[in-house]
Amino acid sequence: MNLEGEYALDKSQRAHRIASGIVFAVWIGLAFYTRGLGQAFRTAAYYLLPLSCIWFSDAMAGYTGGLLGRGRAIDGRSHPTFLRWGGWFLLLFVPLFLLILFSLNK
């Protein structure tokens, strides 16, 4: 008999949450330090979707019914691992690529 509820987290999910929270805080702190409070709020709003894809990948994987390009509906459950790594891609790799690109352009 399994006595753990759905809210129970495995250790890898907890590690993803802690690491993504740290990265999220670093991006907001960097935005606040360089551009001020307004940019920090915009940065936080931008990174909420990737953060939620990492934190709540199991729950978000079940969303269906949305439309993709050319009128195709999402009719199957997504894999939570793909959703989590997509969140990491948007939270970490895209901003790092842009920072490197802009620093090389100066």
CA trace torsion 39, 40, 42, 48 (10° rounding):
160
Q: Is 93 helix (H, G, I), strand (E, B) or coil?
A: helix
How far from the centroid of its chain's Cα atoms is residue 60's Cα? 12
Encoded amino acid at 29, one letter: G
Give the pLDDT confidence score for residue 70 in this predicted structure: 66
pLDDT by 10s per residue, the chain, length 106: 444 555 556 777 889 999 999 999 999 999 999 999 999 999 999 999 999 989 988 888 777 766 666 666 767 777 888 889 999 999 999 989 988 998 898 7
Rounded Cα distance between 78 and 63, Å, is 8
Dist CA 40 CA 28 (whole Å): 5
CA distance linking residue 48 with residue 66, whole number of Å:
20
Q: What is the 3-state secondary structure (H, E, C) of 20-34?
A: HHHHHHHHHHHHHHH
pTM of the model: 0.77
pLDDT attached to residue 1: 44
Number of H helices, E strands in the chain: 6, 0
